[in-house]
Amino acid sequence: QVQLVESGGGLVQAGDSLRLSCAASGRTFSRDTMGWFRQAPGKEREFVAAITSSGISTWYGDSLKGRFTISRDNAKNTVYLQMNSLKPEDTAVFYCAARPPGSSWSEGYWGQGTQVTVSS
């Protein structure tokens, strides 16, 4: 059974940091592009960050680079999202996703999400 399990979310104050983790199991993810998305209440899901299979290339959603950093450990089948200087507008459910080669994000694998709440 393929699973992506996010952890590390919680309630923090503005300016704090959080590190999200996504543990993948059930198949080999080392060839997949891995990503993070988020969905705030009443809003559409938006792209946060992604990292290629080798970890060499990363890209980020608008205005997030500089505060958020994505990384991965293929030996542990885990991808991370370090979030610094958090703002109340970062409040959302954060989802981990795996995109196999030749697939779209919607065709890939998704976790159940972890809630991040930033208070002002």
Q: Tens place of pLDDT for every residue, the chain, 120 residues? A: 899 999 999 999 999 999 999 999 998 899 999 999 999 999 999 999 999 999 999 999 988 878 999 999 999 999 999 999 999 999 999 999 999 999 999 999 999 999 999 999
Question: For residue 87, what are its two tokens?
Answer: 């703002």
Instruction: Count Cβ atoms below 10 Å from residue 94 Cβ, excluding itself.
Output: 23
Residue with tokens 């940091």: 17
Q: What is the pLDDT of residue 39?
A: 98
Q: What per-residue confidence (pLDDT) applies to 48?
A: 98
- Which DSSP category does 44 fall into? -
Q: Which residues contact 82 (CB under 8 A, 6 or more apart)?
A: 17, 19, 68, 69, 70, 71
* Kind and range of the H or E run holding 103: none
By three-state DSSP, how is residue 33 classified?
strand
